[in-house]
């Protein structure tokens, strides 16, 4: 279950190739099995150093937050939810160049329990670890190698009982701080001395929690943002932010702009309140029903504190919902937050890292397969005929591409509790029929997903595709409306319906407001199909990546032709739609067969069984070939397509 690593990591991110956030941070989920083994996260802590923060998510016991780092060694555990001293344990058996290993004990790997691990690799402008022995000096200076001014520091006494002290929080007075293991209000004691931290040092006060003579300490030091050429293809991407805000004076949704979409979020009232932890693998999504929550200051597992949705990611930050204001924070309440950017930061170079096609028999609990990446969107259907289910990690729900219905609660097993795994088992398909499954990972220049709430007025929506979308699928999540499709070949006054086989409507201004999407926004008109006031929508954005994907068009010639997509080994997935006639959205894939013979296909706009009676497409090394059939190549008609290598 190796996590996708799009960009090769440099040794430290300084003086070498820029790093991707996927090289230094990971949220990893696994199911305990009480046996020793390796957990593969894709993060090299063995050679680069780092922290693994582990927490059980389910079970009969309330195991707390366990911290292991390379500075103290793999046998030394600290508990984040209490003030206990460091203990010597044998349950965490080692740091690896691609993850970590466990002994299979009852705390971190108990059979049938679910777990999460957040890994922070040491890297300039992201994360560092420092240990020291206290000397009793007031305002003592401690050196660090973060390379930039810290955004926050977590500090713990190791050899004796003492609280975790948190301070140097960006946007908050330096002398203010909190205890990570408690829900206490802000203290002005000055845990980190009287001198503000710099890019090379921080200070600690002379008290038992920081610098008692002869006591030992550890500090986890987090950056606030990157401005030193460390992350992203150009070395200029922010990947971690610390900040503060104040909720509205009355209960209402409230957005914070951090400049990126987060994959990890922790927030807390500056006054008394729990430390909320969310991530995209477990809970950072737009599910309007419930949201599994973990608290950094409590040992509870997440099913003990599942509550109404509190926080949602946006393309530029996060939204605290009205429920969050009412239940978690309160009105007119100052709070602090920590956000880590969703990756990857680089355009993919290998289609197998961002797309997977698979098939299996439906009626089995063993329909679990590894895609090699964390899936963000999955389309699956029975080949004998069934709805075309489209599931999104961002909403934790499903839509049907062949209907106008609102989203439904997808099975919790689909985006499995193990990283990189899709599980479409008997709880989802109670049938013996074969099922086709297509999986996408979000990545710059290739594919993105955006949710938004309609306003009824012309407006723009931010996205993180990084290039202008060439195709968009837009659907109301809580309003019965058609799927509206934009394609660059038909233009900004045209639209098609994914759930129908109709030809393109070529003169319309209320879908895209006659405005072509850009690398940062797309534009909506006033129609209910894409922008009804106070209704929720989701948009799927697709683009061409050289050698990976192709969004394009061709003109039929009636005799057969090769469609050049710029691939080196042909297409694994092909979607074709005739824009000028009543033809469906036809899907071919390499698992069922893109061959020089009859080719099975399904259509996204209906629930029919697959058709395998005709030779419709043929293999072609640079893309795919179409034959003489009208639905694929009628003379003089325009066809749009989407292909993946």
- For every residue of 373-425, DSSP letters joined together read S--SEEEEEETTS---EEEETTTTEEEETTS-PPPB---TTSB-SSTTEEE--
Task: Determine the average pLDDT of the residues in 123-149.
Answer: 97
Question: pLDDT tens digit string along 607-619?
Answer: 999 999 999 999 9
| All structural domains of the chain with their residue ranges | 21-121, 127-223, 240-341, 351-440, 447-542, 549-644
Least confident range of 9-18, 140-149, 234-243: 9-18
Question: pLDDT tens digit string along 488-523?
Answer: 999 999 999 999 999 999 999 999 999 999 999 999
Contact 36, 104 (CB under 8 A): yes
Q: Where are the alpha helices (DSSP H) in 562-636?
A: 630-633
- The span from the CA of 167 to the CA of 179, in Å, is 9
Task: Determine the average pLDDT of the residues in 140-146.
Answer: 98
Tokens 């600290």 found at: 78
Task: Determine the average pLDDT of the residues in 332-351.
Answer: 96
Other CB atoms closer than 10 Å to residue 457's CB: what's the count? 10
Identify the helix (H) or strand (E) that includes residue 45: helix 45-48
What does pTM read for this prediction? 0.95
Largest CA distance in the chain: 86
Give the pLDDT score at 596: 94
Give the pLDDT score at 425: 79
- 324 pLDDT more than 70: yes
Residues 6+ apart with CB under 8 A from 269: 185, 329, 330, 333, 334, 335
Residues 6+ apart with CB under 8 A from 127: 24, 50, 51, 120, 121, 146, 220, 221, 222, 223
Give the pLDDT score at 494: 97
- 5 pLDDT more than 50: no
Give the pLDDT score at 309: 67
Give the pLDDT score at 189: 96
- 9 pLDDT more than 80: no
Question: pLDDT tens digit string along 144-160?
Answer: 999 999 999 999 999 99
Question: pLDDT tens digit string along 213-227?
Answer: 999 999 999 999 876
Give the pLDDT score at 6: 28
| Closest residue by Cα to residue 538 from 607, 448, 465 | 448
DSSP conformation class of 304: G
b/e sequence 335-358, b meaning 16+ C-beta within 10 Å: bbbbbbbbbbbbbbeebebbbbbb
- The span from the CA of 526 to the CA of 458, in Å, is 6
Contact 277, 266 (CB under 8 A): yes
Identify the helix (H) or strand (E) that includes residue 555: strand 549-555
- E strand residue ranges, 163-232: 164-167, 177-179, 201-204, 216-223
Q: Phi, psi (5° rounding) for residue 404?
A: -100, 5
Contact 370, 421 (CB under 8 A): yes
Tokens of 464: 């993180």
- The span from the CA of 93 to the CA of 473, in Å, is 46
- 8 pLDDT more than 60: no
- 16 pLDDT more than 80: no
**Angle 519-525-530 (CA atoms, 0-180°, nearest 5)?**
85
Task: Determine the average pLDDT of the residues in 34-51.
Answer: 95
Q: Which residue has the higher pLDDT, 116 or 427?
A: 116
């Amino acid at each position: 279950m190796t996590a996708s690593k799009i960009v090769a990591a440099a040794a430290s991110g300084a003086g070498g190739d820029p790093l991707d956030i996927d090289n230094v941070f990971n949220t990893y989920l696994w199911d305990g099995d009480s046996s020793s083994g390796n957990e593969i996260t894709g993060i090299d802590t063995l050679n680069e150093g780092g922290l693994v923060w582990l927490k059980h998510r389910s079970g009969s016991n309330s195991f707390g937050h366990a911290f292991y780092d390379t500075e103290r060694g793999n046998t030394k555990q600290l508990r984040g939810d209490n003030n206990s001293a460091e203990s010597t344990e044998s349950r965490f058996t080692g740091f690896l160049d691609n993850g970590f290993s466990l002994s299979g004990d009852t705390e971190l790997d108990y059979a049938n329990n679910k777990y999460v691990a957040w890994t922070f690799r040491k890297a300039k402008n992201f994360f560092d670890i420092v240990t020291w022995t206290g000397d009793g000096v007031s305002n003592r200076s401690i050196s660090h190698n973060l390379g930039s001014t810290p955004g926050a520091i977590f500090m713990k006494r190791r050899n004796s009982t003492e609280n975790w002290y948190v301070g140097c929080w960006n946007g908050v007075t330096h002398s203010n701080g909190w205890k990570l293991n408690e829900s206490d209000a802000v203290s002005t004691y000055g845990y980190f001395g009287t001198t503000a931290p710099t890019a090379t040092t921080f200070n600690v006060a002379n008290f038992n929690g920081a610098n008692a003579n002869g006591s030992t300490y550890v500090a986890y030091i987090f950056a606030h943002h990157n401005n030193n050429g460390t992350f992203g293809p150009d070395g200029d991407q922010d990947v971690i932010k610390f900040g503060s805000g104040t909720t509205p004076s009355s209960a209402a949704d409230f957005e914070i702009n951090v400049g990126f979409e987060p994959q990890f979020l922790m927030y807390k009232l500056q006054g008394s309140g729990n430390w909320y932890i969310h991530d995209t693998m477990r809970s950072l999504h737009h599910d309007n029903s419930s949201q599994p929550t973990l608290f950094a200051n409590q040992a509870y597992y997440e099913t003990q504190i599942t509550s109404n949705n509190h926080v949602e990611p946006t393309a530029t930050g996060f939204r605290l919902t009205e429920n969050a204001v009412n239940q978690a924070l309160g009105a007119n309440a100052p709070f602090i937050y920590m956000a880590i950017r969703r990756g990857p930061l680089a355009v993919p170079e290998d289609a197998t890292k961002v797309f997977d096609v698979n098939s299996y028999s439906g009626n089995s609990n063993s329909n679990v397969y590894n895609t090699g990446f964390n899936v963000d969107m999955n389309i699956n259907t029975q080949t004998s005929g069934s709805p075309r289910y489209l599931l999104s990690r961002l909403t934790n729900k499903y839509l049907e591409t062949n209907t106008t219905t609102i989203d439904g609660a997808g099975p919790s097993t689909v985006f499995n509790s193990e990283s990189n795994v899709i599980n479409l088992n008997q709880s989802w398909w109670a049938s013996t029929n074969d099922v086709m499954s297509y999986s996408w990972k979000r990545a710059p220049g290739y594919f993105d997903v955006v949710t938004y709430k309609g306003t009824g007025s012309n407006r723009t929506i931010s996205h993180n595709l990084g290039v202008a979308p060439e195709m968009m699928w837009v659907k109301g999540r809580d309003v019965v409306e058609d799927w509206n499709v934009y394609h660059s070949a038909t233009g900004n006054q045209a639209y098609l319906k994914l759930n129908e086989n109709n030809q393109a409507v070529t003169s319309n201004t209320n879908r895209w407001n006659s405005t072509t999407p850009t690398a940062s926004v797309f534009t909506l008109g006033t129609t209910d199909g894409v922008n009804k006031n106070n209704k929720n929508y989701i948009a799927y954005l697709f683009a061409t990546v050289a050698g990976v994907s192709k969004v394009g068009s061709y003109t039929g010639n009636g005799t057969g032709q090769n469609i050049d997509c710029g691939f080196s080994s042909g297409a694994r997935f092909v979607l074709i739609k005739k824009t000028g006639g009543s033809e469906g959205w036809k899907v071919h894939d390499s698992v069922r067969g893109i061959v020089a013979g009859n080719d099975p296909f399904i259509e996204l706009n209906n629930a029919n069984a697959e058709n395998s009676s005709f030779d419709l497409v043929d293999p072609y090394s640079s893309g795919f070939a179409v034959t003489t059939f009208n639905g694929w190549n009628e003379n003089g008609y325009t066809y749009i397509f989407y292909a993946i290598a």
